[in-house]
Amino acid sequence: MKIIIHGGFFSESDQSHEVKTAKQNSLKKIAAKAFEFLKTNSADATVVYAISLLENDSLYNAGIGSQIQSDGKIRMSASLMNGDTQKFAGVINIENVKNPIKVAQVLMKEDDRVLGGNGAKIYALENGFEDFSTEIPQRRKEFEEKVKNGGKGTVGCVALDSNGKLAAGTSTGGKGFEIVGRISDSATVAGNFANQFCGVSCTGVGEDIVSNATAAKIVIRVTDGMTIEKAFEKTFSELKEIDGFAGAISIDKDGNIFHQDSYPTMVFASYDGTDFETFN
């Protein structure tokens, strides 16, 4: 059993040492809780559990930490992929739900598994999700002052369970001030992908991740026989060609954990029941 989570990027220029320490402690705590959950639950259920904890922490750009778009509203996206069943489900630009990743989880049972905008919101209400404002005063103040410091962050998780099954999930609150209708990578296979060989969740600039098809490329290359390290090396070399801004976390079927970023520092934590690794 293995787990790795990420919480976007940390910039020394616009975040304090106190925020950095808070994120390190938060990620370590969430990774430990998720690993304990993983002991008695599947990889996909654990991914949802871990991401919901990240969505509930305003340190991160997802859930209650989400950015405000150019029209003053918050819209979020999230996706979940089960590496065993190869099912992918997600919501795009959903409003007023506390945990978009949980809506993606419920969508797994549907034939139509990726919903956007108002349709996603209606589906959530019909399936028992309460209307919930994810706006916090800090975000509204930033919006009113036109502070654009959010933009390169999502949260995500990859888990390998005791049965050798993999799953990956990603959730985002957008980049802030974006054009209404913009779609990020988080609910696409470029930003979130898993199969029986490997799972990957990405963070960074969505347009760069989509242009590079980052998550899908890494997983496919591992599937075709590359080591996870080589798959990352080749994919990130291609990302460099377009000066792409991204980070990714991953676990392969053998339990190898790997992560990489193109512009440090991606914030992450991994745990295998014995050893923690967190970003510096």
In whole angstroms, what is the distance from residue 21 CA to residue 156 CA? 19
Burial of 46 (0-12, 13-18, 19+ CB in 10 A): buried
Question: Under a CB-based contact definition with an 8 Å cutoff, are residues 172 and 77 in contact?
Answer: yes
* Binding-site residues: 182-185, 203-206
Q: What DSSP line would sit under 166-182, residue for residue?
A: EEEEEEE--SSSPPTT-
| Residue 154 falls in the annotated catalytic set | yes
Strands (E), the chain: 2-9, 76-82, 87-94, 114-116, 155-160, 166-172, 192-194, 198-204, 246-252, 257-261, 266-271, 276-278
- Among residues 154, 170, 188, 214, the one annotated as catalytic is 154
Question: Residue type for 56, please?
Answer: N
Report helix, strand or coil for 255: coil
* Binding-site residues for substrate: 182-185, 203-206
List, by residue number, the catalytic residues.
154
